[in-house]
């Protein structure tokens, strides 16, 4: 249904709610809504929409039930009603501020959710990097084909839209190019989302081991015993290598393909008495 948080006038919201509900189902009517909301008057919704009736506390609760609003949506709807019906100027200002406060909290939650989504699938970051390719086409079918049809055109389209929305792709002339991340740092992203991203790329590495020729990949391993006090040193050396490689390769002007570098460093034995 329509987004209630786009409205400041509850009567306007009700009018557009009714119009959309009617378009989705010919069975929807003022009488149908009255039954859902538990109203005794079948045309009460119309009277309120037309400004001929107010919404008192009793009817407000019934409307919230009929509209099937969540707790946050219900609070927003109630505040819109109070804003419209109060005659006190200072109270109106308070209700307007309350509307903006609820709306900002909702917007912040939506952005946080989208920031988590960007870590949920491996291909978001790959598509962002693909925008650097000289033959890149902002076409979902082309992107899907370029990725070996590992994702559908619809997934490609939704990914590009998400990247644009989060500022990870920006317009430069006639092209879309990668931009500095506007998402939160990895320390602020839920641990589960980060784990899923790493899991996805590890799975892609397994696929590459079986399908990509030796000339286009490099797989190697090192198994070695070492003291625990060396762990911070080793981790910093790995990070420094990754940063250096990134700086060197990011300077390339005409990339031809997108590659993935995974570095796994983890214990095979556990401390303590068996």
Torsions phi, psi for 179 (to 5 deg): -125, 165
Q: Does 55 share its domain with 107?
A: yes
| Residues spanned by the domain of 24 | 4-113
Q: What is the pLDDT of residue 143?
A: 93
Q: What is the pLDDT of residue 182?
A: 44
Q: Which residue has the tokens 């092209």?
A: 175
H or E element, residue 177: strand 175-178
Domain stops at, among 86, 113, 140: 113
- In three-state secondary structure terms, 108 is helix
Q: What is the mean pLDDT of each run of 10 residues along the chain (274 residues)?
A: 84 93 90 92 91 88 93 91 88 85 65 66 88 89 92 92 84 78 46 70 85 88 87 92 86 85 80 52
Q: Is 204 among the domain residues? A: yes
Q: How many domains does the chain have?
A: 2
Q: Is 199 among the domain residues? A: yes
CATH of the domain at 207: 1.10.10
CB atoms within 10 A of CB 263: 8
Q: Does 19 share its domain with 108?
A: yes
Any bridge partners for residue 177, and if so which?
170
Q: Where are the alpha helices (DSSP H) in the chain?
A: 10-24, 30-37, 44-49, 57-67, 71-85, 89-120, 123-130, 140-146, 153-165, 191-211, 231-250
Q: What is the pLDDT of residue 235?
A: 92
Q: Does 40 share its domain with 145?
A: no
CB 119 within 8 A of CB 192: no
Q: Does 109 share its domain with 136?
A: no
Q: Is 9 among the domain residues? A: yes
Cβ-defined contacts of 256-261 (< 8 Å, 24+): 256/133, 256/134, 257/133, 258/126, 258/129, 258/130, 258/133, 260/126, 260/201, 260/204, 260/205
267 token code pair: 């214990």
Q: How many residues does the chain have?
A: 274
Q: What is the pLDDT of residue 270?
A: 72
Q: Does 227 share its domain with 165?
A: yes
- What pTM did the predictor assign? 0.51
Q: What is the pLDDT of residue 273?
A: 46
Q: Does 46 share its domain with 79?
A: yes
Q: Is 41 among the domain residues? A: yes
Q: Does 73 share its domain with 127?
A: no
Q: Is 28 among the domain residues? A: yes
Q: DSSP string covering 194-253, please?
A: HHHHHHHHHHHHHHHHHHS-GGG-----------GGGHHHHHHHHHHHHHHHHHHHHT-S
Q: What is the distance between the alpha carbons of residues 161 and 146, in angstroms, rounded to a whole number?
A: 18
Q: How far apart are the first and last CA of the chain?
A: 58
Q: What is the pLDDT of residue 13?
A: 93
């Amino acid at each position: 249904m329509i987004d209630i948080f786009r409205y400041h006038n509850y009567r306007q919201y009700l009018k557009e709610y009714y119009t959309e509900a009617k378009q989705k189902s010919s069975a929807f009517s003022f009488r149908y809504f009255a039954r859902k909301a538990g109203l005794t008057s079948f045309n009460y919704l119309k009277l309120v929409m037309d400004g001929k009736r107010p919404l008192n506390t009793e009817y407000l609760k019934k409307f919230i039930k009929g509209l099937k609003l969540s707790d946050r949506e219900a609070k927003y709807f109630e505040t819109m009603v109070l804003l419209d019906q109060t005659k006190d100027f200072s109270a109106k200002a308070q209700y307007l501020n309350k509307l903006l406060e609820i709306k900002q909290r909702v917007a912040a939650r939506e952005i946080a959710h989208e920031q988590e989504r960007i870590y949920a699938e491996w291909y978001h970051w790959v598509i962002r990097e693909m925008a650097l390719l000289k033959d890149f086409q902002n076409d979902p079918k082309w992107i899907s084909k370029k990725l070996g049809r590992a994702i559908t055109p619809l997934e490609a389209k939704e990914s590009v839209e998400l990247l644009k929305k989060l500022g990870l792709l920006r317009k430069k002339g006639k092209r879309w190019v990668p931009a500095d991340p506007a998402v939160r740092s990895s320390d602020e992203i839920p641990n589960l989302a980060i784990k899923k991203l790493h899991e996805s790329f590890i799975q892609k590495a397994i696929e590459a081991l079986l399908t990509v020729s030796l000339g286009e990949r490099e797989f190697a391993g090192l198994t070695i015993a070492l003291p625990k006090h060396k762990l911070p040193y080793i981790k910093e050396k790995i990070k420094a290598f990754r940063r250096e490689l990134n700086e060197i390769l990011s300077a390339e002007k005409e990339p031809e393909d997108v590659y993935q570098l995974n570095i796994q460093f983890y214990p095979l034995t556990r401390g303590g008495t068996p």
